[in-house]
Amino acid sequence: MNQKLIVAAACGALACAPAMAGKLYVSSEKDNVVTVFDGASLKQLAKIKTGDKPRELVFSPDQKKLYVACGEGNVINVIDTATDKISGKLDVGPDPERFVFSPDGKTVWATLEEDGVVSATDVATGKRLAEVKVGEEPEGILITPDGKTIYATSEVANLVHVIDTASKTVKANIPVGNRPRRFALTPDGGELWVSNELSGTISVIDTKANAVKGEIKFAIKGFRQEDITPVGILMTRDGSTAYVTMGGANHVAKVDVKSRTPKEYLLTGSRPWGIGISKDEKTLYVTNGRSDDLAVVDLGSFKVTKAVPAGRVPYTVGVHE
């Protein structure tokens, strides 16, 4: 039985309980669109044409705007979430990969993969405030809640760069696993988790020491170690549980944060990559890049309840409540 049929069978067994988000936005790398779904019915509401290769999605704090990084379009498109139409754009530099906003919303920090740079841009004026040179192919980026520190991954250098936002300089470089991708920060800010795609691990960084303090390994029955390629990480608000997409191993891992132990694995589709969660933290949404669908996971049972087509190579999902 192929993976789509397995997911469908699981869905049928659970009567396909609906998701409860208002709307879901999914970026499709190959179609150059963001697809909008009704969160309850998963009915497709709209397809929004964007720049080429849309990937990362970030909402404004009030969720009135959705920002879309278009790597080959060299732009961040701005979508009005009331009308689901493009309302503007941001120029943060060529080939934007991922990005974050400062806590006050005035500055956007973006990883520019082609140039090996993290850029800072004034949102209101579009003025470039800084370009911080980092290792080759930067991707993941995270800003601390106080806005004082940026973390960025370099996929080629196998480093996490620690950037001081006041001086706009790199203050530390932390060696991690092979091809680091994404981040999650514990609620107390003490640990930074980094997914290492080609090592098949997560590095746990002590943020005070700027050094790796532990490592999480994964083992999934029926998959070779080289097929286990973790990318997306999402941590619950209380910091008790992390969900990690396993890429080539076609599963999502449920990890106990305190013990740093994978507790369960769930088959979601082919090459799960992006990950999102409902506001009440009862439903997980996973984009499967090779089966071209969006899987909905009930976290109470940790089962897939539904999967819907989501364009060619869906990258990530934004949850609009």
Taking only the tens place, the pLDDT of each residue in 270-279 is: 999 999 999 9
Shortest CA distance to 272 belongs to which of 241, 232, 234, 303?
Answer: 232
Helix/strand number for the chain, H first, E second:
1, 28
Three-state DSSP class for 7? helix
Q: Is residue 6 pLDDT above 70, yes or no?
A: no
Whether 62 has a pLDDT exceeding 70, the answer reads yes
- Return the percentage of the chain with pLDDT > 90, whole number: 93
Range name among 61-65, 98-102, 148-152 with the lowest pLDDT average: 61-65
Could you tell me the pLDDT band of residue 21, with boundaries at 50, 70 and 90?
confident
Distance CA 11, CA 190 (A): 38
Phi and psi at residue 11, in whole multiples of 5°? Answer: -60, -45
pLDDT of residue 10: 41
- Token readout for 232 is 């997306």
What pLDDT is stored for residue 14 in this prediction? Answer: 39
Q: What is the pLDDT of residue 23?
A: 98
Per-residue pLDDT at 20: 55
Instruction: Give the pLDDT score at 61.
Output: 86
Task: Supply the range of the domain harboring residue 63.
Answer: 3-320
Contact 271, 248 (CB under 8 A): yes
Amino acid letter for position 58: V
Task: Note the pLDDT tens digit of each residue in 195-239.
Answer: 999 999 999 999 999 999 999 999 999 999 999 999 999 999 999
C-alpha atoms less than 13 angstroms from C-alpha of 123 in its C-beta half-sphere: 18
**The pTM is what?**
0.92
pLDDT at 78 over 90: yes
Q: Indicate whether 15 pLDDT > 70.
A: no
Tell me what pLDDT residue 222 has. Answer: 94
- pLDDT, one tens digit per residue, over 139-153 is 999 999 999 999 999
Pairing of strands 128-133, 169-175: unpaired
Structural domains of the chain, count: 1
Average pLDDT, the chain: 94
CATH number at residue 38: 2.130.10.10
Q: Is the confidence at residue 9, as pLDDT, over 60? A: no
